[in-house]
Amino acid sequence: MNNVKAKLILEDGTVLIGESFGYKGAAAGELVFNTAMTGYPESLTDPSYRGQILVATYPLIGNYGVPGNATENDIFQFWESDKIQVSGMVVAEYSECYSHWNAQMSLSQWLIEHKIPAISGIDTRALTKKLREKGTTLAKIEFDQEIPFSDPNLDDLVGQVSVIEKVTYGSGKHRIMLVDCGIKNNIIRCLVSRDTTVIRVPYDYNFNNESWDGLFLSNGPGDPKMNKTTINNLRKALEGEKPIMGICLGNQLMALAAGADTYKLPYGHRSHNQPVIMVGTNRCFITSQNHGFAIDQKTLPTDWEVFFENANDGTCEGIKHRSKPFFAAQFHPEASGGPTDTEFLFDEFLELVERSRKSED
């Protein structure tokens, strides 16, 4: 490495000195941590991280490099969007040497190419303990140039990561209207592989004027309450009977459209090892998660109920309507990275779509 020093500065005045292994430019954002042991290419390209500086708690990052930008069905095969979405990265130890059959470049090269600063040599264990005790904080990575702190939750983050025009994938029999609030590519892969035609539209698109068999609400960054147009469009869709499924931000948007409330978690859930229990059963699943907000389950209307619950802290991990074919998950059934325990939810959604189509015939 080049031994260029960089500073990680927290809003409370804490200054940590490390070495740069990314782009040598300053960046500011919300400092969050992820406890996953693998999957940094997927995490870094996940639009849900837009505006955030990511702390990797696993102590060794970079040892398997970065996969190339090969595409299939017009989406990247190994990235979750078309670029790195985080504002910066913080690790304990960066591995300059990498080895993997699919690696095309080092993590350092990739970060520099996308102009994302990164700092190593930080005690990420101590930093994570601080975030767990005091909550998520604003932070910045600086070199010689000073920059102000910036709160990404005040910005229209979803507008920054959503597509700007309609895109179609696949040619299956089920027509799925996918509202892109910052979608991960593997959600599209999971839908297309299940005999669907996916119509991906911008987050503020009025999908109620279109014909579809099922509506899908994607994951995405920031405060769900910022997306008023999406919530209003969804509120109208909930008056109907056609199946609707949401993931992560989509789960929160569905709750808000139904009349419930959301709140900011102290430090969020970002990992591959979050246990969730399907309410009313003894079934527990290990899930991949990346969110900083949650549904206040006490505010759910009487025609809605909690579908999944976090086994660690009891927070709401999904909701479903008591009579209509609407449900959502706070976690990521599509994984990428992480466990695939709950991918069956895509099958359940398509079963609802099939049933709905038959009832119309």
User: Per-residue confidence of the chain (361 residues) as pLDDT tens digits?
Assistant: 568 999 999 999 999 999 999 999 999 999 999 999 999 999 999 999 999 999 999 999 999 999 999 999 889 999 999 999 999 999 999 999 999 999 999 999 999 999 999 999 999 999 999 999 999 999 999 999 999 999 999 999 999 999 999 999 999 999 999 999 999 999 999 999 999 999 999 999 999 999 999 999 999 999 999 999 999 999 999 999 999 999 999 999 999 999 999 999 999 999 999 999 999 999 999 999 999 999 999 999 999 999 999 999 999 999 999 999 999 999 999 999 999 999 999 999 999 999 999 998 7
Same domain, 120 and 165: no
Same domain, 165 and 129: no
The residue among 106, 126, 154 that closes a domain is: 154
Same domain, 248 and 278: yes
For residue 133, the Cα-to-chain-centroid distance in whole angstroms is 23
The CA distances from residue 102 to 11, 42, 106, 266, 333, in Å, are 39, 14, 11, 37, 24
The pLDDT value recorded for residue 62 is 98
Same domain, 220 and 278: yes
Same domain, 298 and 187: yes
Beta bridge partners of 316: 309
Same domain, 317 and 176: yes
Same domain, 120 and 140: yes
Same domain, 166 and 183: yes
Tokens of 79: 């990235």
Answer yes or no: are the C-beta atoms of 19 and 4 closer than 8 Å: yes
> Catalytic pick from 190, 248, 272, 309?
248
Cβ neighbors of 73 (< 8 A, separation 6 or more) are 169, 170, 188, 189, 192
Beta bridge partners of 72: 75
Same domain, 242 and 144: no
Look up the CATH number of the domain holding residue 89: 3.50.30.20
- Token look-up 């990265």 returns 89
The pLDDT value recorded for residue 298 is 98
Cβ neighbors of 22 (< 8 A, separation 6 or more) are 88, 89, 108, 111, 112, 116, 117, 118, 119
Domains: count for the chain: 2
Is 190 an active-site residue? no
Answer yes or no: are the C-beta atoms of 64 and 78 closer than 8 Å: no
Same domain, 63 and 184: no
Exposed/middle/buried for residue 346 (C-beta within 10 Å: 0-12, 13-18, 19+): buried
The pLDDT value recorded for residue 209 is 92
Same domain, 104 and 190: no
First-to-last C-alpha distance (Å) of the chain: 65
The residue among 122, 154, 186 that closes a domain is: 154
Neighbours of 115 (CB within 10 A): 13
Is 93 an active-site residue? no
Please report which helix (H) or strand (E) contains residue 352, including its range.
Answer: helix 344-360
Determine the Cα angle at 94 with ends 91 and 100, to 5°. 120
Which range marks the domain in which residue 285 is found? 159-360
Look up the CATH number of the domain holding residue 247: 3.40.50.880
Tokens of 181: 């609030």
Dist. CA 56–CA 331, nearest whole Å? 19
Dist. CA 255–CA 246, nearest whole Å? 10
Dihedral angle at the C-alpha atoms of 38, 186, 275, 247, nearest 10 degrees?
140
Is 334 an active-site residue? yes
Same domain, 125 and 274: no
The pLDDT value recorded for residue 2 is 63
pTM, to two decimals: 0.97
